[in-house]
Amino acid sequence: MRETGFRPGGLAVIKTSLEAQETILYSGNMEQNPAVPAFAALGHPGRMAAFRLLMRFAPQGVRPTEIAEALGLKPNTLSHYLADLTASGLVTVTRHGRSLFYAVNLDVTKGLIGYLALDLGRARIDLLSPLLDARKDDAMRDTDFNVLFICSGNSARSIFAEALLRDLGKGKFQAFSAGTRPNTELNTFALDILKRNGHDTSVLRSKHISEFQRPESTVMDFVFTVCDTAAAEECPPWPGQAVTGHWGLPDPVKAKGTDAEKALVFAQTYAALRRRIMTFVELPFESLSRLSLQSRVDAIGSDVQAKV
C-alpha cells in the first residue's frame, strides 16, 4: 500500500509500507510486482549513481545540490533522476525548512534485495555464500572490536577519530584510519589539536585504504566514513559483515582565513568527533544484535548531522 503526494516542482513523495516490501518478496505477478519499476529505475547509469550515493548516507537524507556536486550532474538532469527514483518507491523526499532531503527507502530496498536473492536467485548457496564472511553469531563481541575510519586525505578527520577511539575506547577497540587519496603528511593543525588534548601522535600516519583490503588484513567489525558529501563517492563499500556508518563532516583542511580561524575549525571538528565516539563506546555491545547495533550507529550519525 503506497501513499503518494507531490511537492512544489513536481517532486513526488512516496511512503511505502511493509506491505509493499512483502509484495516485492512474494508477488508472482510480474506486471504488478513493485520490483519491476524499481529495477527499471536502477537500469539507468545516472539513476544508479544517484541511488548508490544516497545509500552511502542511509538512513540520512541528502540535499539535491550536494548530490549534483558529488556526481557532477546538472540540476535539471538530477531532478529527473530523483523524480524517477522517488516514483519507483526506492527514494523518499522530505522538506526541512527551505531544503529538500532525499533518502533511500530502506524498507523497499530491503524487499528488492530479498526478492532478487530469494525469489529470482532461489536462495542458492553458491550465490549467497560469497556475500557473507565466516562469522555466524548475531550478537556482537564485547571486547576487541576492530574499527576503521575512512576519509579522503587521512590527515585530519579520520586521524582524529583513530586517536579518539584508541584513547576513549577503554581497551575494547583497535582503531585504524585510512584515506582514498592520503596525504604524505598529517595536517599540522590536526596534530596540534591532538597534542593539546593529550593524545600520543607518534604512532599516527597517513595510510591508503588498500592497506586494509588485502586478504591478510585485519577483519573489521565497524567501518565508518567521515568524509563529506563531495568525497563520499570515493569511499568504497566494505565487504563482509562489518557494521557501517556515515559520520560525515566538512573537511577542516579546506578552512579559509587566518591561522586562528583555521585552528578553530579543526577544534570544532575534533569536538564533534569526540562527542559521537564517546556515545559509541558507551553502547551496550554485549546486549545488542548486529541489526540493533546498526540502528544505533545510524542514530549517532543522524544526531551528528543535525548539529553540523
137, part of any domain: no
Q: Which of 85, 105, 131 is the last residue of a domain?
A: 131
Task: Specify the 3-state DSSP secondary structure of 175.
Answer: strand
9, part of any domain: yes
Which residue carries 539513476 as its cell? Answer: 47
- Indicate if 155 and 246 belong to the same structural domain: yes
pLDDT reported for residue 213: 87
How many CB atoms neighbour CB 78 within 10 A? 21
Q: What is the DSSP letter of 44?
A: S
Contacts of 276 (CB under 8 A, 6+ apart): 247, 300, 301, 303, 304
pLDDT reported for residue 229: 66
Q: Which of 73, 104, 131 is the last residue of a domain?
A: 131
114 closest CA partner among 227, 25, 222, 14: 25
Strands 11-16 and 2-7: antiparallel
- Indicate if 247 and 149 belong to the same structural domain: yes
**Residues pairing with 3 in the sheet:** 15
Q: Give every strand in the sheet of 222-225, ordered side by side.
A: 173-179, 145-151, 222-225, 243-246
Write the single-letter amino acid at 118: L
Residue 212 grid coordinates: 586494509
Which residue carries 563482509 as its cell? Answer: 240
How far, in Å, CA of 198 to CA of 28, rounded? 62
pLDDT reported for residue 232: 58
- Indicate if 112 and 223 belong to the same structural domain: no
- State the total domains in the chain: 2
- Indicate if 44 and 103 belong to the same structural domain: yes
How many CB atoms neighbour CB 15 within 10 A? 16
Number of alpha carbons in the 13 Å side-chain half-sphere of residue 7: 19
Largest CA distance in the chain: 64
pLDDT reported for residue 140: 52
Phi first, then psi, for residue 289 (nearest 5°) are: -75, 170
pLDDT reported for residue 270: 97
Q: What is the pLDDT along the chain (308 residues), one digit of tens a residue?
A: 333 332 333 333 333 334 444 444 444 444 457 788 899 999 999 999 999 999 988 888 999 999 998 899 999 999 999 999 999 999 999 998 899 999 999 999 988 988 888 888 887 877 776 666 545 444 454 457 999 999 989 999 999 999 999 999 988 999 999 998 898 899 999 999 999 999 999 999 999 999 998 888 888 999 999 987 655 556 666 766 789 888 989 899 999 999 999 999 999 999 999 999 999 999 999 898 888 999 999 999 876 444 44
- Indicate if 282 and 162 belong to the same structural domain: yes
Which value, in Å, is the radius of gyration of the alpha carbons in the chain?
21
